[in-house]
Amino acid sequence: MRRPHWPRRVFAQLLLGQTVVTLGVTALTAGLLLAPVSHELDRNAMDRALSIALATAADETIARAAAERDSATAQRNAEQIRVATHASFVVVTDAAGLRLSHTDPARIGQRVSTDPGPALNGRSVTAIEHGTLGRTARGKVPLRLADGRIVGEVSVGISDRSIRGQLLGMTDGIALCAGTGLVVGTAATLLLARRLKRRTHNIAVADISALLIEREAMLHGIREGVVALDARGRIRLANDEARRLLALPEDCTGRPVDEVLPPGRPADVLAGRVTGADLPAVRGEQVLLMNRMATADGGAVTTLRDRTELESLVRELDHTRSLTEALRAQDHEHANRLHTLLGLLELGLHDQAAQYLCEESGTQAAVAARIAEQVQDPHVAALLAGKTAVAAERGARLTVTHHSHLPDAVADARMLAAVLGNLLDNALESTARSVEVALRADGPRLRLTVSDDGPGVPPELRDRVFEEGWSSKQAPAHRPRGLGLPLVRRQVERAGGSVTVGRSATGGAEFTVLLPEALLTAPPTGHPDAGPPAPASRPAALRSVPGPPAGHPHHPHRPDQPAGAPR
């Protein structure tokens, strides 16, 4: 025989358990209600018996019969009272406790079955006692003559059957109330169970535990951050990756977003103040991609993806693509130059060919030499040389101001190159035809300025250009825009500096970066018009650029040839 199993479904367990509880509570309530009712009925019966006994003792005929031991008179009068009051018995005794009256005449003359002492001593007594007629509620009083002398007692009893009959008469009403409560409770339990069945999708209790374990393993095992908010904007759940990416405190659960995150793009996206798909945001050194989806209960779930490494790779890909395009253009331009030189040689114009060769090589050498003289840090110099070629390919002109100078003592050359590269990319993408870079060192302090002649930045938008995800340009397909300038500001502020944007002398945008501790040693000082000091060393890649001989009209050190002049 198979043993019955406890239901596996949540709603079935709730229905069965709640029904048992309702039944138990109803039975307990009925029992608790009947107990005081039974006690009250006993007390009323004893009071009634005492009242009958007092009325009987007030009859002088019965008192004289007790004094004279006239059992016939006592029996006759006692039975009349018993019949009239519907009492179970009315017993009159003499001063010795012998019966003078009884419902069973054979018991007359016998001693009463219960102690007559208290009544014969002058005290009235009520009690529930067991006598010859069974369990009864009794009232006993002394029987006195007119002069006050006690000549016996009167004992009146109310049968237990009479009391139980009253209780049974009340039981029907109590049972009806209990049954009604049981039916209502069962119906409410059934409705609750059906609602719970819909909410839990009729899953088993064991499945809930398994789902919880699987959810915890999934949330804390995936490489994407997940943050769940309730309808009041408080964090309900945050997995390990979300805590790492957003630097959330351990006690973030149950707290509002604005309480655990500083003002910025991540807090705005989580709180729903900024909406959209694949929203870029910067948190510390992390570049994040955020998506927020509202839930049916008024809350929201936000996912975060770490795009820091991918963004770095995309930027390197952009730089590589730009350099590739520049090299392709240079290759095409170099082929044209070779064809021109070949034509001059075939025509016998040897002097013109030599002059043409010196002009072309001198222009390139002049750009590299000028940058190397002014910018002695190899990382920044190589960046400027590469961006000069990219600008020329785009039909723009990138120049370094005459008074610019950067010694080979940069504390964080990679950071400076990243800041300068982002500012140059922003300038070259703004359809500018001319971009100018100024680098001025003053002790450990460095001032970097990048200006262009593009459309510029309106005053009302100069704060927004540093917000994550905001851009005035169309975003390419491979990555979102609006990350370069926010990264610039974070890198500069992390170094203790500042970055501002204004209007350049040519009407475009001018970005100014101030870094108070950018240099390890103070550069040598001199008169501003004397030009930058001669570099102690020059990057090998720039020193190796060939040029025309000294004294040639196109020597690299011609003062009228600016760095970055278009070829």
Listed residue (118, 161, 158) closest to 140, CA to CA:
118
Tell me the C-alpha to C-alpha distance, in Å, between residue 216 and each of 94, 224, 227, 545. Answer: 90, 14, 13, 61
466 within 8 A of 489, measured Cβ to Cβ: yes
In 88-244, DSSP assigns E strands to 89-94, 125-131, 134-144, 150-159, 225-229, 235-238
pTM: 0.42
Measured between alpha carbons, how far is 108 from 111 in angstroms, rounded to an integer?
Answer: 8
Name the CATH superfamily, with its identifier, for domain 223-306: PAS domain (3.30.450.20)
- CATH 3.30.450.20 location in the chain: 10-166, 223-306
According to the model, what pLDDT value does residue 525 have?
Answer: 45
Q: What is the DSSP letter of 7?
A: P
Question: Per CATH, the architecture of 310-543 is what?
Answer: 2-Layer Sandwich (3.30)
Neighbours of 534 (CB within 10 A): 9
Tell me the CATH class for 10-166: alpha beta
400 within 8 A of 371, measured Cβ to Cβ: yes
Backbone phi, psi, residue 23, to 5°: -65, -45
Tell me the C-alpha to C-alpha distance, in Å, between residue 349 and each of 333, 342, 345, 352, 549. Answer: 21, 10, 6, 5, 21
According to the model, what pLDDT value does residue 551 have?
Answer: 37
Measured between alpha carbons, how far is 225 from 242 in angstroms, rounded to an integer?
Answer: 4
- CATH 3.30.565.10 location in the chain: 310-543
Backbone phi, psi, residue 268, to 5°: -65, -40
According to the model, what pLDDT value does residue 38 have?
Answer: 72
Measured between alpha carbons, how far is 510 from 141 in angstroms, rounded to an integer?
Answer: 118
Backbone phi, psi, residue 363, to 5°: -65, -45
380 within 8 A of 420, measured Cβ to Cβ: yes
Taking only the tens place, the pLDDT of each residue in 489-532 is 888 888 888 999 888 888 888 999 999 888 886 444 444 444 44
Tell me the C-alpha to C-alpha distance, in Å, between residue 395 and each of 288, 367, 388. Answer: 34, 16, 11
Print pLDDT tens along the chain (567 aa). Answer: 445 555 556 656 667 777 777 777 777 777 776 677 777 777 888 888 899 989 888 888 888 888 888 889 888 999 899 899 888 889 999 888 898 998 888 888 888 888 888 888 888 988 887 776 677 888 899 998 888 889 899 999 888 776 666 665 566 676 777 778 778 877 887 787 777 777 666 666 566 666 777 777 777 777 788 999 998 889 988 888 888 888 888 888 889 988 888 888 888 888 888 888 778 777 766 778 888 998 888 899 998 888 766 666 666 666 676 667 666 766 666 677 787 878 878 888 888 877 777 766 655 666 767 887 888 888 888 888 878 877 877 778 888 998 888 888 888 888 888 888 888 888 888 777 889 999 998 888 899 999 998 888 888 887 777 776 556 555 454 444 456 788 888 888 888 889 998 888 888 889 999 998 888 864 444 444 444 444 433 333 333 333 333 333 333 333 333 333 333
Listed residue (280, 318, 310, 281) closest to 425, CA to CA:
318
The kind and range of the H/E element at 445 are: strand 445-452
- Return the CA Rg of the chain: 54
According to the model, what pLDDT value does residue 318 have?
Answer: 63
Q: For the purposes of burial, counting CB atoms within 10 Å of the CB of 561, is it exposed (0-12), middle (13-18) or buried (19 or more)?
A: middle
288 within 8 A of 306, measured Cβ to Cβ: yes
Listed residue (417, 400, 406) closest to 440, CA to CA:
406
233 within 8 A of 271, measured Cβ to Cβ: yes
